[in-house]
Amino acid sequence: MTLDLFQPISETQKERVNDAIKETPPHNPGVYTMYGKSDEVLYVGKAKDLHKRITSYRYSKSRKVQSMIAQISRIGFEICKTETDAILLENLLIRSLRPPFNHANKKPETYYYISTKRRGNKREFRLSMRVLEDYPKVYGCFKGHGRVRKGLGAFLRLLFLKEQNINSAHFLPTQLLGRLAPMRFVAEISPEVGTQIHQFLSGKSGSLFQDFEALVADKLFVDRFTKNYFLNELELLKIFYALGPERNNQLYDELNLDSPIIRQDQLDDFRAII
């Protein structure tokens, strides 16, 4: 354990934890907070049983935990009615306080919505960080700048491959040549594929992805580079679908949400609950 030179060398980990507990924690769910010598927040955690969780720090062999304990001056706690309430409060405190010994849910993230609407025989795709009222179809929110923009980019490129029957990535529109999806893109889409797009972006069916897989497997591309290029696009899209639309649809079903559109301030809390 990394000891503070101003603390007695003889003070053990158990003694430090005991000294930091100013009030005996109860056997209730809740959130506990580790404070440093200047009363700064070092760590926020949740517990089904506050007493068991807090006192367990007396004997932890984790180097990270031992380093934290060497710096604590007190441990506070707040009782919650349920473990779910404790999860939500923990998420809120970590996002707002950003304690140095917490890693999950601390980093600022980007949350996107994907909106679509018909424009004659074409469909417009729009990426935004808020719900756009003038679009009839809105999906999301989806978390992660790189994951969403790479995933949507792969989606649009594979969609172009399917609808335009090209055999080389060189025939892709200039807007789609970057690794990140454009914020706005318009493409010719058949009505049948339009239905599949809705099912895919709402996480209800991966049939469109399966069509993409079959297309790439059977397509006679001009060279091996192009084949590998679109195989990589499939991998990006698979990750986006699993962690974005499909995951959101699971939240919608399991939590009986009133709206399939999830607000940016709700997504992390909903994921933590289930």
**Domains identified in the chain and CATH numbers:** 13-97 (3.40.1440.10), 111-273 (no CATH)
Instruction: Give the burial class of 114: count Cβ atoms within 10 A of its Cβ; 0-12 exposed, 13-18 middle, 19 or more buried.
Output: buried
- What would the pLDDT profile of 212-267 be if each residue is shown by its tens digit? 999 999 999 999 999 999 999 999 999 999 999 999 999 999 999 988 899 988 88
C-alpha 205/C-alpha 214 separation (Å) is: 16
In contact, 160 and 190? CB cutoff 8 Å? no
Sorted by sequence, the CB contacts under 8 Å of residue 27 that are 6+ apart come out as 49, 50, 51, 52
Three-class SS of residue 101? Answer: coil
Per-residue pLDDT of the chain (274 residues; tens, 9 = 90+): 444 544 444 478 999 999 999 999 999 999 999 999 999 999 999 999 999 999 999 999 998 899 999 999 999 999 999 988 898 899 888 888 889 999 866 666 789 999 999 988 899 999 999 999 999 999 999 999 999 999 999 999 999 999 998 999 999 999 999 889 999 999 999 888 999 999 999 999 999 999 999 999 999 999 999 999 999 999 999 999 999 999 999 999 999 998 889 998 888 888 777 6
d(CA 232, CA 239) in angstroms, rounded, equals 11
